[in-house]
Amino acid sequence: GERLLFDCGEGTQRQMMRFGTGFGIGHLFVTHLHGDHILGIPGLIQTLDFNEREGPLAIHGPPGSKRHLEKLVHAGGYQPGFHVSVHEVRPGSVAYSADDYEIRAFETEHRTSSVGYALVEDDRPGRFDREKAEELGVPVGPAFGRLHSGEDVELEDGTVVHSEEVVGDPRPGRKVVYTGDTRPLETTVEVAEDADLLVHDATFTDEESDRAKSTAHSTAREAARVARDANVRRFALTHISARYAANPNPLLEQAREVYHGDVFVAEDGQKVDVPFPDADD
């Protein structure tokens, strides 16, 4: 039920209204301070205030970003009527820890201080074998839940049923990795290993590889190598140069020559379901 926003370029609040996402975000994660990733912050803050927001908003950004982000929050001398906190996060640190997942910052390479973010869920309990539990004499009811949560249960006759007897191995949670703007890095491969979704900078085709290097972006083929080497389940090309707006197929074709899994070009308003890794089991 949580809403998290990653980067906030100009027009973000307009797109949020257009696609009906709602404004109930609790955390904004900024990858770097270039305009197309931060210039929507002042408008969004003031819209949240106009909508009588009361809860706090936490903004997370790369090293050296706090002063600049605070200026955006207070652009034009504006004072929000709700609490906004700004935090700098370093690569390798946990930007935000929730009950059952973490947002981890990782190293990226751009023309300014930058980080990427990985949403990593905790492992889930293994599957509960109800039939086995009943065979062992466990009565239907609260004892099932206790066993599933890892507790042992003592039956009326004094027999102890251990959780591991009726609960399978822990099942992995989901992992979603968002790079922001970056050159391809081995760090991203390591962070994105077995990710359920990788959203990677793929600004240019091979024909513009020199420009990709000079501007510290990735080509679609370079991003695809990261996706392949990390063995990700799905791979989204994003931050596409405007020169491919009418036809992004060349990017997709070059990515598919390297990565043979589920790859697509991200589109405005697109919704992507991220199932659990064992959803088909």
Residue 89 pLDDT > 80, yes or no? yes
40 and 142 in one domain?
A: no
Average pLDDT over residues 256-270: 96
**Spatial distance between the Cα atoms of 13 and 28, rounded to a whole number of angstroms:** 13
Taking residue 31's Cβ as centre, other Cβ atoms within 10 Å add up to 28
Average pLDDT over residues 229-255: 97
Indicate which CATH number applies to the domain containing 215: 3.60.15.10
157 and 71 in one domain?
A: no
Q: How far apart are the first and last CA of the chain?
A: 25
DSSP 171: B
- 281 falls in which pLDDT band (50, 70, 90)? low
pLDDT for 59? 98
**C-beta separation of 8 from 44 below 8 A:** yes
Average pLDDT over residues 125-129: 88
Among residues 7, 36, 169, 262, the one annotated as catalytic is 36
226 by Cβ neighbours in 10 Å (0-12 / 13-18 / 19+) ranks as buried
211 and 108 in one domain?
A: yes
**C-beta separation of 217 from 203 below 8 A:** yes
204 and 113 in one domain?
A: yes
Residue 270 pLDDT > 70, yes or no? yes
157 and 74 in one domain?
A: no
Does 268 participate in catalysis according to the annotation? no
Its domain, for residue 67, covers 1-88
pLDDT for 167? 87
Structural domain total, the chain = 3
Q: What's this model's pTM, rounded to 2 decimal places?
A: 0.90
216 and 110 in one domain?
A: yes
Write out pLDDT tens, residues 14-69: 999 999 999 999 999 999 999 999 999 999 999 999 999 999 999 999 999 999 99
226 and 207 in one domain?
A: yes
**C-beta separation of 263 from 237 below 8 A:** yes
Residues 6+ apart with CB under 8 A from 174: 119, 121, 196, 274, 275, 276, 277
204: which strand partners?
219
Residues 6+ apart with CB under 8 A from 63: 88, 89, 90, 113
210 and 115 in one domain?
A: yes
117 and 137 in one domain?
A: no
Tokens coding 60:
């997370």
145 and 51 in one domain?
A: no
Write out pLDDT tens, residues 170-182: 899 999 999 999 9
- 149 falls in which pLDDT band (50, 70, 90)? confident
Average pLDDT over residues 217-246: 97
Query: What values do phi and psi take at 139, rounded to 5?
Result: -70, 145
Give the range among 159-163, 204-208, 222-226, 230-234 with minimum mean pLDDT: 159-163
Average pLDDT over residues 87-99: 97
pLDDT > 90 fraction of the chain, expressed in percent and rounded = 86
211 and 117 in one domain?
A: yes
Largest CA distance in the chain: 75
Nearest to 117 by CA among 102, 105, 100: 105
197 and 186 in one domain?
A: yes
- Find tokens 């997370």 and name the residue: 60
Mean pLDDT of the chain: 95
